[in-house]
Amino acid sequence: MSSESDDDPVFKALAHRRRREILDLLKEGPRTTGMLCETFADMDRCTVMQHLKVLEEADLVMAKKEGRERWNHLNSLPIKHIYDRWISAYAGHALSIIDRLKSDLEGQ
Amino acid sequence: MSSESDDDPVFKALAHRRRREILDLLKEGPRTTGMLCETFADMDRCTVMQHLKVLEEADLVMAKKEGRERWNHLNSLPIKHIYDRWISAYAGHALSIIDRLKSDLEGQ
DNA sequence: TTGACATGTTATGTTTTTATAACATAATGC
DNA sequence: GCATTATGTTATAAAAACATAACATGTCAA
């Protein structure tokens, strides 16, 4: 039922600042594509849509079409997933890292 | 003292599966560059070093030179940092997302 | 139905990443 | 010293990401 971790598209999607900004906005609530283009007026409309597509393929954004508008919803589950399966293992590690580096790197 | 969040290189560094694999290995303990190349024998040595450079620029790997060997240490603090400043905000959001999507997307 | 509006698709140029090769340095052991 | 080993540097080809333009579809409202 499970398989190779398929969180690559999520990490890839998060790698671009603009896409994280889109997610930050969608966290406040759904937005239409047009609203997003208005907010990010310095980006071409096509660029916004391309970023949306990347986010959608990573399952971070889910779209609901309503008439001629398209409402983009945030789905934060993939982020929670990579946290649970990957990032959390590093949070604990970080606690001891300063002491360890002090002895490893300076205690020469 | 603070400024624009400079976690872009961290997200970018995490975006490649190979680099995450390197971090996973370094989580077990420091490794020399040569040991890493042995472990990832299917990658060219130069490729491994290039990935190490990206990780180092993101401050995720710290190197300590010892004789003619170079020991690569994991630094997990940047990961903790992006968790604290960005990812954690989505973990809570994920809790309600299923219900919300059910009503938003299906309750048409 | 027709014109305006919101969105979608395809193609293309540009830049960045990724991977490798060839060459260079630098420390170790004989 | 000299060969070997470990790592570093520079150059370059291939692939992917990014941004935009031009064109296409589909919906609403008068």
Q: Is B14 on the interface with A (CB under 8 A)?
A: yes
Average pLDDT rounded to a whole number, residues A83-107: 69
CATH of A8-76, one of 3.40.50.300, 1.10.3720.10, 1.10.10.10, 1.10.579.10: 1.10.10.10
Q: Is the CB of A15 under 7 A from strand D?
A: yes
- Could B105 and A64 be called an inter-chain contact, meaning their C-beta atoms sit closer than 8 Å? yes
Q: Residue B46, CA: closest nucleotide via C1'? A: C20
List pLDDT tens digits, range B33-62: 999 999 999 999 999 999 999 999 999 999
Distance A21 CA to C10 C1' (A): 27
Q: Is A101 on the interface with B (CB under 8 A)?
A: yes
List pLDDT tens digits, range B67-87: 999 999 999 999 999 998 899
CA dihedral A102, B61, B9, A10 (to 10 degrees): -120
Q: What are the domain boundaries of chain A?
A: 8-76
Which residues in window 35-74 of A are less than 7 A from strand D by Cβ?
43-44, 46-47, 50-51, 54, 67-68
**Alpha helices in B15-87, H assignment, sequence order:** 17-28, 33-39, 45-57, 77-82
Answer whether A61's CB lies under 8 Å from A73's CB: yes
Q: How far apart are CA B4 and CA A57, in angstroms?
A: 28
Choose among A73, A87, A89: nearest Cβ to B101: A73
Average pLDDT rounded to a whole number, residues A2-8: 57
List pLDDT tens digits, range A35-49: 999 999 999 999 999
Which residues in window 51-80 of B are less than 7 A from strand C by Cβ?
51, 54, 67-68
